[in-house]
A = this chain, B = another copy of it.
Amino acid sequence: MNEIVEVTQIFKALSDKNRLRILKILEIKPLCVCEITDILGLATSTVSKHLSILKAAHFIFEQKECKWVNYYLNQSTQMPYVREIAELTRNWLKNNEIVLEDQRKAALSDRMKICHKQ
């Protein structure tokens, strides 16, 4: 794939409101799909698709933990463009109401409450 197209893929990954929300949420702490789904209020399949796009662009990575799939910000990515833009945008949207509310929810998130198990 041409490097120009690679760059467009990076920007496309950041071109969706809900994917930006996911990245800002994961700044708080790693979360599983059901926690992110609960915060965003979208269908699970939609969130899964967004996560796969962010993962393909190397903004996040996943790690299995029991029956959950946890997603982490990929802050040590070896992709220079991705790292640069992730560092830059980390300082963006710091006072946005939606982002702050999402992050508040993320901080309080407890998968045991969400996921029908004690």
Contacts and interface: CB of A to CB of B under 8 A. Distances in A.
Contact of A15 (B2, B12, B21): B12
B7 A92 contact: yes
A3 B91 CA distance: 13
A11 interface: yes
Contacts of A84: 88
A28 interface: no
A8 interface: yes
A8 B2 contact: no
A20 interface: yes
Given A84-B88, A85-B88, A88-B85, A8 B3 contact: no
B81 A4 contact: no
Contacts of A20: 4, 7-8
